[in-house]
Chain A
Amino acid sequence: MNRTALLIRLSPWLFTIGLFVVWEAAVHIFKIPVFFLPPPTAIAQAFVDYAGPLARNSWITLQTTLIGFALAVGFGLLLGLVVGWSRAIYAGLYPLMIGFNAIPKVALVPILVLWFGIGFIPAVLTAFLISFFPIVVNVATGLATIEPELEDVLKALGASKLDIMRKVGIPRTLPYFFGSLKVAITLAFVGSVISESVASNYGIGNLMLQAQAQFQVPLIFAGLVVLAVEGIAMYAAMAILERRMTGWAQRSGFAQA
């Protein structure tokens, strides 16, 4: 590996460390009070002091997000296939879906609480509701954009709609589908944290809210760091999954061969 390549590999870490160094220095130089902007060292101290609650609650948030996300994948895939299957269904459902997607999902939390009470279930459902839409749209788009000539080639051979879906539609939809998972998991995470902050006794969202009430500012920031790390980890997992599953769409074999 030459020097530039090494530098590029290291640079995300260098920039992250640099950010914390500048932050720490700024807090000390400008004498910013801890209750306004705590320095990274204070946040680190909060991690040590509250390791138990942080670990427990971040685990809950992660679970909430993943369950909501799994529901969104199942439902989104199914609805996407249905919507992409027929133009009539597409035309009928599209305005409904747009309308539903336009509703800020935080506005649904009170209704979910009314139905299911405060806690885990509204958070899972918020994560689900906020994240299925991009999956539906991507799957349906993949199906709807089959080249008409290719469809003609197969139809002329007597292929049924199901044949065309199996041989062409679904495989060509996979890159769209896996691409949408990155977006969906990020949204699911947003959904579960929103719901936790508004209507739950658990999770990082709730922990941050309580820390705020008790004016434990370093702990609030520790919560933010946990969210950032979890968010990056989930996004990265989906990006890796996408690369694994749809190598042909990225022509990566070509570049590496």
Chain B
Amino acid sequence: MYPRQISKDDVLKKYLYLAAVTLVLMLWLLPLGAVILTSVRPASDAAVGNYWGWPSGFDLVKNYTEVFTQTPMGRYFFNSLVITIPSVIGVLVLSTLTGYVLSRYRFRGNTLLFAIFIGGNFLPFQIMMIPVRDLTISLGIYNSYLALIIFHVAFQTGFATLFMRNFIASLPDELFEAARSEGASPLQTLIHVVIPLVRPALAALAILAFTFIWNDYFWAVVLTPSDAVKPVTAGLDNLKGQYVANWSLISAATIAIAIPPVVMFFLMQRHFIRGLTMGAVKG
């Protein structure tokens, strides 16, 4: 499974490998580098075609301040947070509940239910665009935070359930039997035994779901036409229309948008503890 290590003695191979990695990394990071550089250029640079050269000046503070003072990005940012945070929480809560039940309780239709959760993931969401839009309109939540929150939760919970089910299923059976024989109710077992032990999975899932929902463009465009509820992804597109000349500003906004998922990663990182279940059942 793991890539085989290059032997220390094979110097040529080692350097070739290093060179290849560096090259791929450069290619990969080049556009990002250009965007970062542009985000600190004075607006005039882009006008004269200085896309790749050294900036004629550094307007870092000015550009980034303007993103939030001269454009509605602040509003979009707020909208994104209002949509993303409850959605992520909703996904984590629902998938922990469904994963727990599907992995630990035998009941008629268990497998079928699980298959539906997984199968839902395979539906291309483009084909649901019109029905979902119509549904939100008839529910009276079209063009509101709630519309995006509900549908993000619905679409993310399928995969998240698969993830949590498998993680909870991998916990030793004896822990559940022990809890049950000590009189813990299913809910108590979930809260006091399962959740502390699946923390790393929840953290990983939180990052995934956060990034997915934060970066979503499709549903934002479909469900939230108005600026008042539009998230950053759709908002950035607006920016392009209004400020077509100011690429520095757009770049700065792009970088600002990319920051929350990164912050999320570092926030959740401390939950990735190896061997959390160590000492549970082994001698």
Partners in one complex: no
Give the B-binding residues of A (Cβ under 8 A).
none
